[in-house]
Amino acid sequence: MGHDHQPTQRLCEVYDLGMMPYEEAWNLQKTWVSRHRQSPQPDRLLLVEHPPVYTLGQGSTTENLKFLESNPPHPLFRIERGGEVTHHCPGQLVGYPILDLKRYQTDLHWYLRQLEEVVIQTLAALDIPATRQPGLTGVWVGDTKLAAIGIKVSRWITMHGFALNVCPDLSGFEAIVPCGIADKAVGSVAQFCPGISVAAVGALVKQSFSQVFKIDLVEGTANSDGSNPAT
């Protein structure tokens, strides 16, 4: 059967938000997730960089902090996602898909593997042989972790997502045990592709995301506060 008879491809709005404070992006996600409860919403992908920040997963321990919770070197947030502590900073590309998994598969493990696959295909386009590690979430080259993944799904609507170290200053990771894994290093795409930019990797992420989730990406039209200028 030729492509003529294929069902219409799904659409996903993509937002390049640039540098945005963590709390602002978090609030934007919550706004759009709550809208899914009120009316049908398009799937969305937010791509963003954050000023330096630490985030703790919902049930994560503070034992993985090498600083006092009351006196962090950068802002510290406890958020709804799974997983342990992580660090966001400039030079790291963060992707927040807000998808209705009822349009895909209502399976959290499937969704986590799809996010890993997006990053693996992105890195493959740069000739970086990235893989998964059995029993661990994220994307690795050997024993070096290039991308962390932590999600929250409620009523099959996703939030939070993946963080890919493109060309960040990795020193901020030294103040934590990243994702609670003490014996493995954190690395970046720039170690394999000197001079790589977040924008270049962002373009590859969009291609991979479109292929893995079998969706067409369109530029988002909502304002950055989550309001839609068309309404």
Question: Can you point out the beta strands (E) in the chain?
Answer: 10-19, 43-49, 53-56, 76-78, 86-88, 92-98, 131-133, 136-141, 144-154, 157-165, 185-186, 215-219
Cα 119 versus chain centre, distance: 9
Bridge partners (DSSP) of residue 93 are 164
**What's the alpha-carbon Rg for the chain, to the nearest Å?**
17
How far is the C-alpha of 151 from the C-alpha of 11, rounded, in Å? 21
Give the Cα separation of 203 and 199 in Å (integer): 6
Tell me if 98 sits within 8 A of 43, measured CB to CB.
yes
Could you give the CA distance from residue 30 to residue 159 in angstroms, rounded to a whole number? 8
For the record, the structure tokens of 121 come out as: 């295909």
* Residues acting as catalytic residues: 179
Q: Do the beta carbons of residue 125 and residue 207 sit within 8 Å? A: yes
